[in-house]
Amino acid sequence: MDALSGHTTPETALIIDDYPYGFRLRCKIRYWLEYKPGTGYRFCAQTTNPKKAGAVWNKPKASTYARFGGVMLRNPEDGHITWSGVGEYDDTARCEQFFAAYGHTLPEEGRAMLEQWVTKKRAYDAAKAAGHDMRAAAAIAAQAQK
C-alpha cells in the first residue's frame, strides 16, 4: 500500500474522475483525511451527482475518528483508496508499527501526540510486566515522557 499525504480538505482532496454511481452512471469522487486537534483523524469521501448539471457535490461521508494517527492508502494493484488509523484500544506493537511506517505523513502536532502515546504504551506494558496492577501501571505510564 502506498501512503498518500497532503489531502486534508475537500479543496486538496484526491479526485478520481471515473467512479461508479449506481449501476449505469459514472461520477467523480474525492477523498481526504481530516484532522481535528483533540479529536483525531477521520477519512472522508464525497461524490458528485451525475443526475445534475455541472459538478454538484453530494454530502460527504465520514468515518469514525482514530484518535492518534491516520493515513490514506492506495493499493497499487487496483488503485483502491482506503485508510488506516490507531486509537486508544490498539496494542503497543500496532502503535509502534504504525508510527514507524506512517509517522512521517502526519501533521507535526499529530506526530508529536502519536509519539507521546507510543511512549506511554511502552511504559504501561513495562509496568504491567514488572507486576504492577492496571491502576498502578496507568499511573506510571501517565508520568512517562518521550
pLDDT tens, per residue, the chain with 146 residues: 788 878 889 999 999 998 999 899 999 999 999 988 888 889 999 999 999 988 899 999 999 999 888 888 888 888 889 999 998 889 999 999 999 998 888 888 788 888 888 999 999 999 999 998 889 888 888 887 75
Confidence at residue 112, expressed as pLDDT on a 0 to 100 scale: 86
- Total domains in the chain come to 1
Length of the chain in terms of residues written: 146
Q: What contacts 88, CB < 8 A, 6 or more positions away?
A: 67, 68
pLDDT computed for residue 48 by the predictor: 94
Domain that holds residue 22: 2-143
Give the pLDDT score at 28.
93
Element (H, E) at 57: none
Cβ distance 114 to 104 under 8 Å? Answer: no
Whole-structure pTM value: 0.81
Give residue 110's pLDDT.
Answer: 81
Using CA atoms of 130, 134, 140, 143 in order, give the dihedral in degrees to the nearest 10. Answer: 150
- Where helices occur in 4-133 by DSSP H, the ranges are 92-102, 108-129
